[in-house]
Amino acid sequence: MATDTILLCCATCGRSINYPRHVDRTIPKEIVKIVQGKCDQCWDGDFDGEDWFDAEGRHWMPLPEPPALSATDVRRKGNDR
């Protein structure tokens, strides 16, 4: 079941906050928890990665961008005459 908030945890200080889901619509609705290397208070200029988890504790790899459609999906028959 999707929740309205995502639990955002910091691996450095252990702090966790509830993050409103609507702020970032790129996060899949299955994700209920995100563990950051550094939160905004621990952040020292280096971006550290995130780990995403769903309600069953499965680890998701964050996707930097949506997967592109394969060429066969978008190709159309152009030779019909």
- Residue with smaller CB distance to Zn ion, 14 or 20: 14
Interface size with Zn ion, residues (CB under 5 A): 6
Position 12 contacts Zn ion (CB under 5 A): yes
Cα(69)–Cα(81) distance, integer angstroms: 27
Q: Give me the least distance between CB of 12 and Zn ion, in Å please.
A: 4
Is 24 buried (19+), middle (13-18) or exposed (0-12) by CB count in 10 A? exposed
Query: How many other CB atoms are found less than 10 A from the CB of residue 18?
Result: 11
Position 10 contacts Zn ion (CB under 5 A): yes
Copy the structure tokens of residue 49: 């990665």
Q: Determine the length of the chain.
A: 81
Which of 33, 42, 48, 54: binder of Zn ion (CB under 5 A)?
A: 42
Q: Give me the least distance between CB of 27 and Zn ion, in Å please.
A: 19
- By the criterion CB under 5 A, which residues form the site for Zn ion? 10, 12-13, 15, 39, 42
